[in-house]
Structure formats: C-alpha cells, structure tokens
Amino acid sequence: DARVTQTPRDKVTEMGQEVTMRCQPILGHNTVFWYRQTMMQGLELLAYFRNRAPLDDSGMPKDRFSAEMPDATLATLKIQPSEPRDSAVYFCASGSSMDPYGYTFGSGTRLTVV
Amino acid sequence: AQKITQTQPGMFVQEKEAVTLDCTYDTSDPSYGLFWYKQPSSGEMIFLIYQGSYDQQNATEGRYSLNFQKARKSANLVISASQLGDSAMYFCAMREDFTGTASKLTFGTGTRLQVTL
C-alpha cells in the first residue's frame, strides 16, 4: 500500500530550539497538506502545496513557522524558535488532482515542547 | 461561522448495533465534497467514505454509509453492526470548490465513539 511517511514520529524539544518535520508524499501525488491537531483547536490546516508551489499558508504563524517542498518527494515544516504552545500532532497528507477523492494522511509527528 | 458541525462529543453503542454520527455543514458553493475519517487511539487518520454534492445516491463502503440530506446540509455517518474495533474518534470534513483538483479539507471537532459489549 502506498503511504505518506512522516519523520520523526515523536519529538521532544526544549523551548527555543528549532524543529524540522519531514514528509514524503505518495509518489505521483501533487498536492501536500500540513495539518496541526490539538485538543483545543482540533484539526487546523497550516499550509498546502500543489506541484511544490505554496497555495495557502494562511493558517501558519509566519513569524516562526515555515513550510517548503524542496522537491516532489519531500515536504518540510520548520518551527524556529519553538514554544510550548506548539505542542501538538502535526499531520502531513497528500492528494492528487487526478484523484480528488482520496487524501492520504501520514501517521503524524507528535511534538512536545518543554 | 463553523463550516462543519459535529454536535456529539461522545457516543456509546453496543456491539452489533447500528449508530449514526451527525454532521452538518455550511457552504454556498454548489460543488463540494464531504468526507468521514476515523482516528483510532493510535492516532492515524483513516479515510472511510466520500460523498460528492452532485452524487444522486448515498455513498456506501462496507458497513459505512453516508446519509446525505442536501437540503438540510447534513451528512451523517451510519455504522452498521458495530464492532469493538470501531471505537475511535470520527471526523467529518468538507472540501469546497470541488473543481476536480485536490483542495483543502475543513474538519469538524469530531465525535468519540465507544463500542461496548
């Protein structure tokens, strides 16, 4: 089965440190999403890309968060500097404009900032 | 205004019974898609079922069916013959501007389903 791969699975870091989360979308999928899940806010869209170009990053705190797709097989979400309120599960999902029904989610990165 | 509303924070159902999880949505776009995802305690998001706004028939996938009432803007998930493994969080989601390309999903707050013996 094709899958979206996210690394790391878990990350504990100290406040102020840089955190980088990585996502390998399904081969052939041209749209990649970053979602954040917290108990308080639920699932929020942070950013998404189509054909590696950012389409919408309005959900992302611009001062500390950045999202990129250096190539079609890798998407990154970086937080610098990290804060305790960034503690959440970060999901990457990918989809294809050829198959608009299916969005496949990765297993998520559980981030804890202490 | 909330685009996706799930009013049941938690639900209980006995094994082998059917259960309905409610979802209402709000959009002015005539073309949209509705999704249900399951999130077990392990955390992954599992796609269950999809309904397009122009689909004439309600979607079904095995024990899952979607009760789509367009005029009421509701897209309830029905799980038949519940199993213990159905215990999980269930999310309703919507994609607007369904132009045939993958666009963003907006999620509801979820319903936690507990299946009991």
Is B23 in the A-facing interface, judged by CB distances under 8 Å?
no
Q: Supply the DSSP symbol for A66.
A: E
Banded model confidence at residue B2, pLDDT cuts 50, 70, 90: low
The amino acid that residue A79 corresponds to is I
Give the residue among B40, B14, B34 at the shortest CA–CA distance from A100. B34
Q: Do B47 and A104 touch (CB under 8 A)?
A: yes
For residues B48-62, average pLDDT:
93
Chain B residue closest in CA terms to A110: B43
Is B71 in the A-facing interface, judged by CB distances under 8 Å?
no
Specify the pairing of strand B60-61 against strand A5-7. unpaired
CA distances from residue B107 to A36, B2, B27, B36, B116 in whole angstroms, order as listed: 11, 10, 13, 9, 27
Per the model's pLDDT, the better-predicted residue between A97 and B17 turns out to be: B17
Question: Cα separation of B90 and B96, whole Å?
Answer: 20
Is B90 in the A-facing interface, judged by CB distances under 8 Å?
no
Question: Cα separation of A32 and A55, whole Å?
Answer: 10
Output the pLDDT for position B20.
98
Region of poorest pLDDT, from A76-90, A92-106, B16-30: A92-106
For residues A47-57, average pLDDT:
89
Output the pLDDT for position A55.
86
For residues A72-96, average pLDDT:
95
Contact list in A for residue B54 (CB cut-off 8 A) is none
Q: Do B35 and A103 touch (CB under 8 A)?
A: yes
Give me chain B's average pLDDT, please.
Answer: 92
Calculate ∠ Cα A58-A62-A63, nearest 5°. Answer: 160
- Smallest Cβ distance to A97: which of B101, B105, B106? B101
Question: Cα separation of A55 and B70, whole Å?
Answer: 29
The amino acid that residue B94 corresponds to is M
User: Within 13 A of B48's CA, how many CA atoms are on the CB side?
Assistant: 26
- Smallest Cβ distance to A42: which of B50, B103, B110? B110
Banded model confidence at residue A2, pLDDT cuts 50, 70, 90: confident
Q: Do A100 and B107 touch (CB under 8 A)?
A: no
Instruction: Give the tens place of pLDDT for each residue, B17-49.
Output: 999 999 999 998 888 899 999 999 999 999 999
Q: Supply the DSSP symbol for B97.
A: S
Is B31 in the A-facing interface, judged by CB distances under 8 Å?
no
Output the pLDDT for position B74.
97
Question: Cα separation of A84 and B50, whole Å?
Answer: 36
For residues A39-49, average pLDDT:
92
CA distances from residue A42 to A88, B59, B71 in whole angstroms, order as listed: 10, 26, 27
Do residues B105 and A45 lie in contact, with contact meaning Cβ atoms separated by under 8 Å? yes
Banded model confidence at residue B100, pLDDT cuts 50, 70, 90: low
Does residue A107 surpass a pLDDT of 90? yes
Report H helices in chain B.
none
Is B9 in the A-facing interface, judged by CB distances under 8 Å?
no
In sequence order, which residues have a C-beta less than 8 Å from that of residue B98 and are 6 or more positions away? A100, B29, B31, B32, B33, B52, B53
For residues A42-48, average pLDDT:
93
